[in-house]
């Protein structure tokens, strides 16, 4: 094998390989690095295309409009319905406010999304890739713009092959300008999920936006432009990990875009007679028109079977249906079907659809389990949170009257929109008394703690006691915290320490 950087192998870059005499060697076999095969997808009409348009419009509308939805949370609180406020450590999603300690809910949401994706993939193949993935949605949008300005497949190929001209120049310029504009809009919308949309829009156009806002807007503008305009199917084939492991979710019972080989082969051009013969030779329904290849956004041939680059979008289904109608043959030569059913059909048998399989049942079970756990966690999410941290040094202090004093740092979080007043009671230490460290001598059996709305109150609480038994130097105590207005309460246990007796 030639060393990397060797003249011979380097020289292969960009130069067509010399075909070996006699036998034809595929180009991919002799090159160390492959030229990109430019894909010029043709426009197509049909059911898959309609579904794809509908999902595209829905996704884009949701993406661009969401930051502008308002939600009244009262005076002094953000009024954006969905706001991921990193600076103030709060996520606002309509009526819910998430604190950093609710991050497990985000983990749970990601688990739900992942298992949901597994289930959908095992049922219907890579529909995520074909319809809902942002890479697909924005690439489709960019292709639509490209088609508006540069025309359909044939026009684009012809113009790209032609020498430079004014017509070519302005169309290319217009296309890239439009792409950059969409990319900028996309990058700008992204930042609006993190800062107040109307405010940041005004700040941006008056030059007052922060460096972070400008950076992330630029970052997402550049990446949208590069990924949707230039990289396109290269992202799916070479960058994305999902196509690599989606094979482990698919099986022969998954509904995927499939070419009915038994019906289409042997392929051949020409109009079939009543018995399906062309010039006396019996041929399949595939007239080898390459329509399925020409519309494919990743430039593959579905007739080669299920493959890594197929994003399961079904545009080839639409293309083939158009052709079959024109050729006077039955539609659905390419369709959504399972590999098992196709095998059966090839042998003239009928095979039932198996939606309920161990794989899908496991995914459904996992999904239901995760949903109920998540739902439970969300429903029982406490609005009163107390954390108690015993002082590490000193563990205890002896005071003048001979009693022992322990100090604790209490953090009381008030996740509601109202200022809250809490009462704190100590349990497990008969005769014990508490005081706030600001007024150490004001010993009381119960303390009143006030916490502003949407905030954490930090209190250093001193506990005085004369425990009779401290065999191992400590005994258990409990802090009971009660919201005096709502009655919501919580209890946290800790220890009271002293010299071992």
Partner 1 sequence: MSDQNAASEKDSVTGRTTTGHEWDGLKELNTPLPKWWFWTFVATCVWGAGYAIAYPSVPWLTTYFPGVLGYSQREAVTADVRALEAQRAGVMQKLKAVPLEEVRKDEALYAVAMTAGRIAFAENCRACHGAGGEGRPGYPALAGDAWIWGGKLADIQHSITYGIRSAHPEARVSQMPRFGADGLLKAEEIDQVTDYVMGFYKPDAPALPGAAKGATIYAENCAACHGDKGEGKREVGGPALRSGVHLYGDTRAAVRAQIANPRLGVMPAWNTRLDEATIRAVTLYVHGLGGGE
What is the contact surface with partner 1 in residues (CB under 8 A)?
1-2, 8-9, 13-14, 25-26, 28-36, 234, 238, 391-395, 397-403, 405, 407, 437-438, 440-441, 460, 462
DSSP, residue by residue, 311-325: ----HHHHHHHHHHH
Give the burial string for 470-484 (b: 16+ CB within 10 Å, else e).
beeebbebebbbbbe
Q: Which is nearer to partner 1, 438 or 472 (CB)?
A: 438
Minimum gap (Å) between residue 145 Cβ and partner 1: 22
Minimum gap (Å) between residue 231 Cβ and partner 1: 8
**Cβ atoms of residues 217 and 188 within 8 Å:** yes
**Cβ atoms of residues 260 and 334 within 8 Å:** yes
Tokens at 164, concatenated:
């430079």
Minimum gap (Å) between residue 299 Cβ and partner 1: 13
Name which of 273, 323, 270, 268 is nearest 294 in CA terms. Answer: 323
Interior CA angle at 24 toward 21 and 26, to 5°? 130
Q: Which is nearer to partner 1, 75 or 438 (CB)?
A: 438
**Cβ atoms of residues 429 and 463 within 8 Å:** yes
For 440, counting Cβ atoms within 10 Å of its Cβ (0-12 exposed, 13-18 middle, 19+ buried), the class is middle
Minimum gap (Å) between residue 25 Cβ and partner 1: 7
Q: Which is nearer to partner 1, 72 or 438 (CB)?
A: 438
Minimum gap (Å) between residue 2 Cβ and partner 1: 5
**Cβ atoms of residues 99 and 90 within 8 Å:** yes
Say which DSSP state 387 is in: E
Say which DSSP state 230 is in: I
Interior CA angle at 457 toward 453 and 458, to 5°? 170
Name which of 104, 105, 101 is nearest 386 in CA terms. Answer: 101
**Residues near 115 by beta carbon (within 8 Å), at least 6 away in sequence:** 363, 366, 367, 370
Q: Which is nearer to partner 1, 7 or 206 (CB)?
A: 7
Name which of 1, 12, 8, 11 is nearest 34 in CA terms. Answer: 12
Q: Which is nearer to partner 1, 3 or 271 (CB)?
A: 3
Q: Which is nearer to partner 1, 331 or 443 (CB)?
A: 443
Q: Which is nearer to partner 1, 155 or 399 (CB)?
A: 399
Minimum gap (Å) between residue 119 Cβ and partner 1: 30
Q: Which is nearer to partner 1, 323 or 434 (CB)?
A: 434
- Cα–Cα dist 197/60, whole Å: 17
**Cβ atoms of residues 357 and 251 within 8 Å:** yes
Minimum gap (Å) between residue 294 Cβ and partner 1: 22
**Cβ atoms of residues 2 and 9 within 8 Å:** yes
Minimum gap (Å) between residue 288 Cβ and partner 1: 19
Minimum gap (Å) between residue 6 Cβ and partner 1: 8
Q: Which is nearer to partner 1, 1 or 166 (CB)?
A: 1
Q: Which is nearer to partner 1, 20 or 377 (CB)?
A: 20
Alpha helices in 192-237 (DSSP H): 197-205, 211-224, 233-234
Please report how the helices 315-327 and 47-65 are oriented relative to each other, as an axis angle in degrees rounded to 10: 150
Minimum gap (Å) between residue 172 Cβ and partner 1: 19
Tokens at 215, concatenated:
């950076």
Minimum gap (Å) between residue 400 Cβ and partner 1: 5
Q: Which is nearer to partner 1, 391 or 488 (CB)?
A: 391
């Amino acid at each position: 094998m030639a060393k990397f950087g060797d003249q011979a192998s380097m020289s292969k870059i960009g130069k067509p390989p010399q075909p070996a005499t006699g036998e034809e060697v595929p180009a991919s076999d002799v090159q160390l690095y492959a030229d990109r095969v430019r894909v010029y997808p043709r426009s197509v009409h049909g059911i898959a295309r309609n579904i794809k348009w509908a999902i595209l419009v829905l996704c884009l509308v949701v993406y661009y409009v969401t930051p502008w939805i308002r939600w009244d949370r009262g005076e002094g609180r953000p009024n954006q319905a969905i706001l991921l406020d990193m600076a103030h450590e709060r996520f606002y999603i309509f009526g819910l406010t998430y604190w950093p300690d609710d991050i497990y809910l985000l983990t749970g949401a990601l688990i739900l999304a992942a298992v949901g994706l597994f289930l959908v993939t095992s049922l219907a193949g890579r529909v995520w890739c074909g319809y809902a993935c942002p890479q697909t949605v924005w690439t489709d949008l960019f292709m639509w713009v490209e088609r508006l300005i540069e025309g359909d497949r044939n026009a684009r190929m012809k113009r790209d092959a032609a020498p430079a001209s004014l017509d070519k120049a302005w169309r290319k310029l217009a296309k890239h300008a439009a792409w950059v504009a969409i990319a900028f809009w996309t990058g700008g919308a992204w930042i609006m999920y993190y800062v107040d949309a109307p405010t940041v829009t005004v700040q941006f156009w008056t030059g007052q936006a922060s460096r972070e806002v400008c950076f992330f807007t630029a970052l997402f503008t550049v990446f949208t432009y590069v990924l949707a305009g230039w990289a396109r199917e290269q992202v799916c084939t070479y960058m994305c990990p999902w196509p690599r492991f989606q094979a482990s979710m698919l099986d022969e019972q998954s509904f995927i875009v499939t070419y009915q080989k038994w019906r289409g082969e042997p392929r051949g051009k020409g109009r079939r007679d009543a018995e399906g013969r062309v010039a006396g030779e019996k041929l399949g329904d595939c007239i080898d028109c390459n329509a399925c290849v020409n519309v494919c956004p990743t430039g593959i041939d579905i007739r080669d079977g299920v493959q890594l680059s197929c994003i399961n979008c079904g545009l080839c289904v639409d293309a083939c249906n158009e052709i079959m109608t024109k050729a006077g043959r039955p539609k659905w030569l390419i369709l959504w079907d399972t590999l098992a059913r196709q095998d059966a059909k090839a042998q003239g048998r009928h095979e039932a659809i198996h939606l309920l399989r161990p794989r899908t049942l496991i995914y459904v079970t996992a999904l239901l389990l995760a949903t109920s756990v998540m739902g439970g966690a969300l429903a029982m999410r406490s609005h009163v949170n107390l954390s108690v941290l015993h002082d590490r040094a000193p563990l205890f202090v002896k005071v003048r009257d001979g009693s022992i004093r322990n100090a604790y740092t209490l953090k009381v979080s008030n996740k509601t929109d109202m200022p809250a007043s809490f009462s704190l009671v100590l349990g497990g230490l008969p005769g014990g008394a508490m005081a706030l460290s600001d007024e150490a001598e004001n010993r009381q059996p119960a303390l009143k703690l006030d916490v502003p709305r949407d905030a954490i109150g930090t209190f250093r609480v001193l506990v005085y006691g004369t425990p009779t038994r401290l065999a191992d130097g400590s005994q258990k105590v409990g802090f009971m915290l009660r919201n005096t207005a709502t009655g919501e309460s919580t209890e946290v246990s800790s220890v009271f320490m002293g010299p071992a007796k």
